[in-house]
Every structure is written in structure tokens, then in C-alpha cells.
Amino acid sequence: MRIVTVGDNCMDVYQASGKAYPGGNPVNVAVYLTELGAEAAYIGWVGTDIYGDIMIQAIQEKGVNTSRVSKKTGKTAVTQVEMVDNDRKFGDYDEGVMAHFSLTPEEINFAGNYQLVHSGIWGHADKYFPEFKQKGLITSFDFSDQLNDDLVQTLPPHVDYPFFSYTQDDDYIRGLLMEVKQRGAQIAVATLGENGSLAYDGERFYTYGVGEVDVVDTMGAGDSFIAGFIYGRLKGLSIEACLELGAATAAKTIGYFGAW
């Protein structure tokens, strides 16, 4: 099972402690997939600062292929994080060198050697998804909580597994998943925080709850869910089993500080 993730990375800096943890949706998904047993690579840019070195080393130590991580003159992306009752609140985000991220033809060809490619709403990789699909790649994309972004309208024809972050199972999110499916997605999925998850395949909705777990830090919960779901689909599991695997993967993540 071979997966490549593309786009944003950032150092999550916790204001209270000053500690910094590597993160970013594509990075996190690659790390979680590796922990599940997949072969994963990450394509992205870091700066020429100490955070860039920390990012590359941390990803490598998790077993992710970093041969296509490029150092660019400037700063690695940083997100300020504040903890409020064990839930993380994002503050200022400095995109650093990732603001100008693009892929070379060689990197696009490199991605074509994998089964599935994943990116997210802040990854600056959405414009390459039509090409990924033309190369025969399975595609997944995290829209996060940006449910009104223009990409929700334009990208689903090129995304097999779109993921959304929402709060509850209601008519609004069900309607959105139905629309996204009709635009071309295979299975549209929403994570609902403490209310579990929801998926739609064009015929019916599937729901799954969350288990009892002591929450230390919710950082990375959605990304680990995505990794579990993707892993399950590539293994040929049912949608229900993929939702269950996503929830189990997320439950482990929220038991410690940082995304991983």
C-alpha cells in the first residue's frame, strides 16, 4: 500500500509551554498511514531555519519518505496553538515558504508512482488534482471546516474521498455530502467531533460514533481519522469498517500532546 501526501506542513507552537510539534494535514496523514503499515511519502517545502531541519528529521524518523521535501530560503510555516480545556485553539498562522508552494513535473511524476495522493485545503496542491486523476491515482482531500470554500464546488470531480469537518449530524451536512457526491466524488465523509462521523456513497448514509477516551489534546484527531479511513479503503474494507478504523486511529491521537 503506497500513498503520497502533498502540500502544507507547519510547526505547531504551544504558547503556554513554548514547545513546538511538527504538523500540517498532509504531513500528519503520511505519518499516521506509516504507523498503520502503509508506505508513505511526503512532498512539501520547509524553510532554511531550525524548524525546517526539525520537520524533515521528525518525518524521517517516523518512516516517511522525505526525498521530495525541498528547503527554500525563508521560514518554515508556524501555527500558534493555545490549549483551552484540552481542546486546541489555533492562533496566528505564518505560512512561510509554503505560501508559494508548487510542484515540478518531476514531482508530479514521482507522485504517479503511488496508489493514492492526499492533500488539504491549505496545501496549494488542489490545482494538480485533475492531473493526478489523469495518471490513474486514487485521490483524497481534506476540506477541513471550510465548507463554503469555492473548492467545495470545483474540486469533487477530481477527488474520490473528500473529507469535511463539522459538528453534528444534521440536514445541512447531509445535504452537503450529497451535493459533493453528485459532483463526482466516490464517498463523501464528514467528521463530527464528539458526535462521530458520517459518510455518503450515493445510495445511503453511514454513521459511526466515538469511543470513551481520555482527551489530552485534540490536535491531529481529524487527520488520523482520515488516515484510518483511507487505509481501510485501500485494504478493501466496507465503509462502516473504514469509519470504525478512522475513529480508532483518532482515539489514539487525542491521548497525547501534539499531532504525533
Does the pTM surpass 0.85? The reply is yes
Quote the domain boundaries for residue 119.
2-253
| Strand spans (E) along the chain | 2-6, 10-14, 20-23, 39-46, 65-71, 78-84, 87-94, 116-120, 138-142, 161-165, 188-191, 197-200, 205-208
The fraction of the chain above a pLDDT of 90, given in percent, is 79
CATH code of the domain in which 107 resides: 3.40.1190.20
Residue 32 burial (CB < 10 Å; 0-12/13-18/19+)? buried
Tens-place pLDDT, residues 169-199 = 999 999 999 999 999 999 999 999 889 999 9
Residue 260 lies in a domain: no
Distances, alpha carbon 45 to alpha carbons 60, 119, 222, in Å: 15, 14, 22
> Is residue 168, in this structure, part of any structural domain at all?
yes
- Asked whether residue 63 is assigned to any structural domain, the reply reads yes
Judge whether 258 lies within some domain: no
Average of per-residue pLDDT across 87-113: 91
In a domain, 154, yes or no: yes
pLDDT tens digits, one per residue of 107-152: 999 999 999 999 999 999 999 999 999 999 999 999 999 999 999 9
Total domains, the chain: 1
Helices (H) and strands (E) in the chain, counts: 8, 13
241 occurs within a structural domain: yes
On whether residue 201 sits in a domain, the answer given is yes
- pLDDT in the model for residue 42: 98
What is the dihedral angle through the alpha carbons of 152, 153, 155, 157, rounded to the nearest 10 degrees?
Answer: 120
Judge whether 100 lies within some domain. yes
Per the structure block, which three cell numbers stand in for 175?
Answer: 445535504
Over residues 189-215, the mean pLDDT reads 86
At 107, list the grid cell.
Answer: 514531482
